[in-house]
Amino acid sequence: MQFKADINQVPMQNLSPNDNPIGRPYPQFESIGGSTFNGVSNYNSLQAQVHKRLANGIAFGSAFTYSKFLNDMDVSPFNGAGRTINFQNAHTPASNYAPSNFDIRTSLKSSVVYQLPFGRGRTWLNQKRILNEGIGGWQVSAIVINQTGKSIYGHLQWSQ
């Protein structure tokens, strides 16, 4: 992970109310942007899922995730940031180690699929080839995502 920082930042021991440029490592310059690749991230999760296919073309599924995502640098699309953010303190990057912008502690994702009973091999309108081509094989599905943190989604889909 890329670590962007002002490498000419005043060290903690030289901070004062006046922010005297003499305290900077290179006092002849304001700020000097730099990058190293020593960012840290850590993700752990517990995941469980259940799927059940029932008679008459109905299937259910559900997945639960409990997780924790920690890092010291985010490149985040959430909250309009969408860019790399410099560290607060370039001299101690570990001071930024905290829950990530992507940290979603709990997530429950559920789905249901229903195969419509029309067409070949189904209950109704299964004799005529032209009807099978037009209305056979369709299914309706719905997905619901409930999670803590950033957002909640719902989705309904028709497909063949």
Q: How far apart are CA 91 and CA 49, in angstroms?
A: 43
pTM of the model: 0.64
Contacts 24+ apart (CB under 8 A), 118-123: 122/57
pLDDT, one tens digit per residue, over 100-127 is 877 889 999 999 998 888 777 676 666 6
Give pLDDT tens digits for 51-65.
999 888 899 999 999
Q: Which residues of the chain have pLDDT under 50?
A: 77-82, 152-157, 159-160
Structural domain of 107:
3-159
Q: Residue 120 corresponds to which amino acid?
A: R
Query: Residue 79: which region, alpha, beta or left (left: phi > 0; alpha: psi -120 to 50)?
Result: left
Domain count, the chain: 1
- Roughly how many angstroms between the first and final C-alpha of the chain, as a whole number? 42
